[in-house]
Chains A and B, each alone.
Chain A
């Protein structure tokens, strides 16, 4: 018995080794290096052997108004995107959850934006949002002016730019979440829905009291993933507004990118990255705590 267990343990070691090696090489080691740099004045062009900085970078970053603004922008973006995208994706999934082939097309249509490269969409939406330029304007403004809304410089007004980016991001990302919900919907027991219908529950009651509870774990997954993705905001503002006007759309990732590659303060950039990592981990754990997954 013991001999068998020993072979078993050895086999387990063999099977685990590749995964553990990869994890150590590509996750643990880089993180450890970055943590090391974050407490020194590491320079991007000469990272090693630089003087000790202790927690200077961390304390400076926490007190830095520009960095706090980047944090605030990103959090605000997540606050726009996560609830809206989750709710819209949920209802889209309910809507297209039909077996007829025609609906398959509609599902594909909603999914297409998620597979197109973000830079392409950034160019497209910059055109759509184009403010009045001479006698031309973007499609968004043209459409709104038909219903009597004054054309806006969507990406150029400090208070409109972030919501405009959030709207575009929801449009882009909602198809993926819709697919996740669709998969979850296949597990909602038909019998329960039938029973609810026989008991006189209307469509809204069936959704709220049967479908939503059955999709609990899916919803938690979607909210968690959307939150993490929303906090990683970078490409849309970087390509569409460069973080402007002013710093109105500068995200944490852009701040980290600029600290790394423009001012090349690697130590400070690593510290910013750890603050960012800590924040996302904290929010994710908080969500999980508040809304525990059910395991069967």
Chain B
């Protein structure tokens, strides 16, 4: 909350009658309540930078707190002080929306990458371009820049990125006579299905696709590459229509091939085990960088990794993660930008946070601190982000799109007709887009470019 109210002592002083009623201890309590309500500390020369973050794993939260402490120590001479608040992951996005409605956004906050377009559209964010030199921007992975750039302006930068690959158990593949592609190469979809079929005939459960995930975002994130590699898209490049795009012939063909993974029993549609690859139940795992440490610890040299299988000629990979932006109403934009610079600085921000959460460092200069990026699986993560990964679509309607696409994917995996289900998703998304475009409140949906 902002310090819009006068200092506590003045509040009681302006009402002399209250002194007669309020005994000293009551007054103290009243003062404390007012302090809690206004959230103001005693006025000092200090500039408090309000920063919000989603709550990650505890190690990650600890690392971010330490980063903030070091920021405060380093900027004490300028009087800049970060006040860091965490909110649970599952309600963080709602929290941001409600704060925006109440004009109570913090000065800087982290944002889930694909939701950025909506915040930019609602003019909640200030561009970061003035605060980062071209040289600095070039140090970031291209996916981080692509994720944060909307309408030609950079609105957010992350300290880390994500990668998803196909992990496999070398021994189990060899036992079934399945040969993985050469180092760095990937399977075509036909090769992938053939490998799974061979594993199955050898009595091995082939694959985990993590259908125990409750969150919609896993499905959109992990399986959009199937759409992209088949030459399709989820939404038009300007983010305003899915008509003829989401249920296109290319997408139907791609998802029909994807569906076979489930209809032929290669992966479970209702698994209970969250990590069947780690526990040795399945031979391959369609999963993210976040499993790399655990898989390496369990499998050692047996762990193999390859880019996701491709439907068309060219492979595709997902990317994107949490990134930092500055509120358009930040009280001291320079101070807020200093925090974003600090938390995305290779040494001060990226190294400690990546050590804690195991994600892919967002800057090339930070990679040097992580020698594991010279060998797989980490090398594959980096190569993928440098070459074949693309962010989820930039559209203010992303949340609706992702929800409907994920629901369609779940139904398709469980046997729904691909064309019918995609058409339905297309209708459901388009109806929301059309409605929002009629409402003047959503600016760019009416054709105007986001500011």
Contacts and interface: CB of A to CB of B under 8 A. Distances in A.
Interface of A: 41-47, 50-51, 60, 66, 126-127, 130-131, 133-134, 136, 153, 155-156, 239, 242-246, 258, 261-266, 268
B411 to A, nearest CB: 5
Nearest to B91: A261
Contact of A263 (B93, B269, B270, B432): B432
Contact of B101 (A46, A136, A243, A244): A46
Give 6 closest A-B pairs by Cβ, nearest first.
A43-B441, A45-B122, A262-B399, A41-B439, A45-B100, A133-B268
A133 B270 contact: yes
A263 B397 contact: yes
Given A127-B272, A153-B270, A242-B216, A46 B441 contact: yes
B97 A44 contact: yes
Contact of B424 (A43, A47, A131, A246): A246
A261 B93 contact: yes
B97 A261 contact: yes
Nearest to A49: B441
A51 B414 contact: no
A41 B440 contact: yes
A249 to B, nearest CB: 11
Contacts of B428: 66
Contacts of A268: 435
A47 to B, nearest CB: 5
B440 A133 contact: no
B441 A50 contact: yes
A133 B265 CA distance: 8
Interface string B265-296: 10011111000000000000000000000000
B250 interface: no
Nearest to A248: B411
Q: How large is the interface on B (under 10, 10 to 19, 20 to 34, 35 or more residues)?
A: 35 or more
Contacts of A134: 205, 265, 268
A8 B416 CA distance: 70
A130 B272 contact: yes
Given A46-B122, A133-B271, A258 B403 contact: yes
A244 B270 CA distance: 14
Contacts of B329: none
B271 A43 contact: no
Interface string B416-451: 100000001000100010011001111000000000
Contact of A51 (B407, B432, B440): B440
Nearest to B441: A43
Nearest to B433: A263
A144 to B, nearest CB: 16
B400 A261 contact: no
A156 B416 CA distance: 11
Contacts of B119: 45
B94 interface: yes
Contacts of A51: 439-441
B441 A263 contact: no
B338 interface: no
Contacts of B271: 133
Contact of B407 (A43, A153, A244): A244
Nearest to A47: B101
Contacts of B270: 126, 130-131, 133, 153, 155-156
Given A45-B122, A243-B407, A244-B410, 8 more contacts: A43-B439, A45-B118, A134-B268, A153-B270, A156-B270, A265-B432, A265-B436, A268-B435
Contacts of B94: 261
A60 B410 CA distance: 29
Contacts of B406: 242
B205 A264 contact: no
A19 B122 CA distance: 38
Contacts of B124: 45
Query: Which of A46, A51, A264 has the most chain B CB within a 10 Å cutoff?
Result: A264
24 contacts: A41-B441, A45-B97, A45-B118, A45-B124, A46-B441, A50-B439, A50-B441, A66-B428, A133-B269, A134-B265, A156-B414, A242-B216, A242-B406, A243-B407, A244-B410, A244-B411, A245-B414, A246-B424, A261-B399, A263-B400, A263-B432, A264-B118, A264-B399, A268-B435
Contact of B403 (A60, A131, A262): A262
Interface in B68-122: 93-94, 97, 100-101, 118-119, 122
B214 interface: yes
A244 B269 CA distance: 14
B101 A44 contact: yes
With a 10 A CB-CB cut-off, give which of A50, A133, A156 has the most chain B CB atoms: A133
Query: Which of A46, A239, A263 lies at the interface centre, i.e. has the most chain B CB atoms within 10 A of its CB?
Result: A263
Contacts of B411: 244-246
Given A242-B410, A245-B411, A262-B403, A43 B397 contact: no
B139 to A, nearest CB: 32
